[in-house]
Amino acid sequence: MKIKHNEIEIEQENPFANCKLDRQKYSSVLTNIINSYPYGFVLALNNKWGTGKTTFVKMWEQDLKNTDFQTLYFNAWENDFENNPLTALMGELKTLTSVDTEPSFKKTLKKASTLTKHIAPIIAKAIADRYIDTEGVKEAIVGVTNGLADVFENEVNEYENKKKSISDFRETLSEFIAITNEGKPLVFIIDELDRCRPNYAVSILEQIKHFFSVPNIVFVLSIDKEQLGNAIKGVYGSDDIDAEEYLRRFIDLEYSIPEPETGLFYKYLYDYFQFDEFFQSAERSKYRELQSDKSNFLETCKLIFTNAKIPLRQQEKIFAHSRLALRSFNWNSYVVPHVFLFLTFIKVTDNEFYEKMKAKSLTIQELQERFLDLVKIKINEDTERQLMWLEVYLVNAYNNYYQERYHRKPLYERDEETGENKLLITSIVKKDAGQDFMHILESINRRRGEGDLDLSHFTKHIDLLEDIKT
């Protein structure tokens, strides 16, 4: 049984063969855009963290290679140990060289070194001015750039030299690309830019704009624009910076990969982590009251993942943890998927809420309010009944846990006049649903043993405090 979700294998001949989100069609759209504008531009793939951007761009890159595009993939986050991004970017370009193109690359590399010579002391002085107060230490830092600070005694006099070094670099870079790409643009993918050190991320953007803006290079920036915007504000030390406007200077076209079809991913994860080995096992099938666990689990998945827009990466974590925790249950144990999965979901996405429940520091009303706020679901005819079932199960388990058994305040009591049960709490899902809420609560408590389960029955498994069954 798998304990975590491994990286999807990308087959060379059919890179989208193992894609579970039906995203090959977006690869075709983007490739056609590049074919339509081969001269060169900067494309931003803008999606939130955890939505599968990295997997997509790697599949797309292989698809581009299969149609004779030259491509480069650069993980900025893995390379932000390098202070000057120009070094890393040139290192990636070096991988395109062949015996025939090596002389052209060496010429480009020489121009890059000249370019570095002209910009390095400025960068060093700027960093020193920003972070260091002692003038003597500043000058020491500037001095260790191999004495290059002397070149900049008079920046005005060096202005033409800087302009020429940039122009020369662009020219030789353009020549190098022209002899390596066989008529198609080089597609240079930069991934994880929003996860880098802010200074490094901004420096990459600046260098792409000023040094690599040459014909026949298409830069693809795989980013979460909101997070990258926060990094930009951090670098410039002000929340008043218009990060959106700043990024428009660099990005020519923005594209967002659409959300996957409803239910596609969580159903895939259910199969991937082999939940049927537990829920559909022969041992559990002997117990009639446990036979609906699979459908209840999947229905709760639909409520949580479809409506609350949980990132794919977090869905993976929730499923992986749930599957491991299931191994600590006996075959004939109550799991109550409504509560078990929702509590696992809370542990991963809102651990503060989870710990407050365990600490018994919430009232029933506070629990209900946090519950509804967390799932972020529009209540309608399709979700109302299922949400109420989840609410009742959660409230019942928490109430059983909140107080000692023999001093426990009930959630309902018998009306002496009518002889029927009446609620002592109100549903937060639907304020006027007293009768429905009461029927669900009565149903739970009629089931042998299930109505007496308290929160700890679930949390001790979710927290992996019980032995894992082999």
Query: Strand order in 186-191's β-sheet?
Result: 71-75, 186-191, 217-223, 42-46, 253-255
Do residues 182 and 65 touch, judged by C-beta distance below 8 A? no
More reliable by pLDDT, 382 or 229: 229
Most confident range (mean pLDDT) of 118-132, 187-201, 444-458 is 187-201
Domains located in the chain, CATH noted: 24-255 (3.40.50), 264-462 (no CATH)
| Predicted pLDDT of residue 79 | 86
> 42 falls in which pLDDT band (50, 70, 90)?
very high
Do residues 353 and 468 touch, judged by C-beta distance below 8 A? no
Give the model confidence (pLDDT) of 379-434 as tens digits.
777 788 888 889 999 999 999 998 776 666 788 888 777 878 888 888 888 877 77
In our burial notation (b when 16+ CB lie closer than 10 A, e otherwise), range 165-202 reads: bbebbbebbbbbbeebbeebbbbbbbbbbbbbbbbbbb
Taking Cα atoms as reference points, which of 443, 131, 463 lies closest to residue 292? 443
Do residues 289 and 450 touch, judged by C-beta distance below 8 A? yes
Sequence-distant (≥ 6) Cβ neighbours of residue 24 within 8 angstroms: 16, 59, 63
Q: Give 166-211 as a DSSP string.
A: HHHHHHHHHHHHHTTSTTS-EEEEEE-GGGS-HHHHHHHHHHHHHH
Q: Give 141-153 as a DSSP string.
A: HHHTTTTGGGGGS
